[in-house]
Amino acid sequence: MKLWGSAFVLAVALSSTHASADPLQKSEDIVKFFEGASEFGPSRGVCVGTEDECKSNKKEAPAERTSIDMLINFGLDSAELDTTARTELGEFAKALNDNRLSTLSFVVEGYTDASGSAHYNEGLSERRAQSVTAFLMSNGVDAARIKAIGLGETHPRNPDPYNPANRRVEMRIRTE
């Protein structure tokens, strides 16, 4: 049975415009973010000493990194990747092809806003996830490492169900 590592989410958010064709996240930044992702959960240890000594020696936990946002633009009722989306996803593909991430697999979750019927949106979200997956595979990512699913208008990113930010793809690390 597969568990979804929700602590390490790559949210591919959609915006209506892009400022430039330069990727927001470089492949090396993505590699560094996900490197060590197999070490889920807080570290545990035993402290030998008095309660006060143990409390004073306790290190502050680092801030939990929960997501990397990449601005990807899907048009309304579209699963086509534009030039900027291809640039962003190209950096992600480079990161996934890096040896340091070779053991990680991802699920690509497609979402929509509430503009269509629930049944239609499920299909559109699946097409969006497939579009991203196909692009990653065409850039050398092994198909066995990525799985596309469509989740329609569930789990909106923005409380306004019609907001373009809800038209997105999220990639989550799959763990055994």
Report residue 47 CA to chain centroid gap.
36
- Domains in the chain, please, with CATH? 65-174 (3.30.1330.60)
| Secondary structure class of 172 (helix, strand, coil) | strand
Task: Please give the Cα distance from 79 to 129 (Å, whole number).
Answer: 8
Q: What pLDDT, on a 0 to 100 scale, did the predictor assign at position 65? A: 40
The one-letter code for the residue type at 34 is F
Q: What is the pTM of this model?
A: 0.73
Angstrom distance (rounded) from CA 88 to CA 8:
18
Q: What is the pLDDT of residue 25?
A: 79
Amino acid 39: pLDDT: 55
What is the predicted pLDDT for the residue at 14? 36
Q: Which residue has the tokens 């049975």?
A: 1
Instruction: Calculate helix-pair angle for 27-34, 83-96, nearest 10 degrees.
Output: 50
| 148 three-state secondary structure | strand
- Give rounded-to-5 percent helix, strand, coil for the chain: 35, 20, 45
pLDDT at residue 140, rounded to an integer: 97
Other CB atoms closer than 10 Å to residue 100's CB: what's the count?
13
pLDDT digits (tens, 9 = 90+) for 91-118: 999 999 999 988 888 888 899 999 999 9
Q: Tokens 């949106």 — which residue?
A: 121
**Which segments of the chain have a pLDDT < 50?**
1-9, 11-21, 40-46, 59-67, 176
Q: What is the pLDDT of residue 17?
A: 35
Q: What is the token pair recorded at 136?
A: 């990653």
Q: Token digits for 57? A: 């020696």
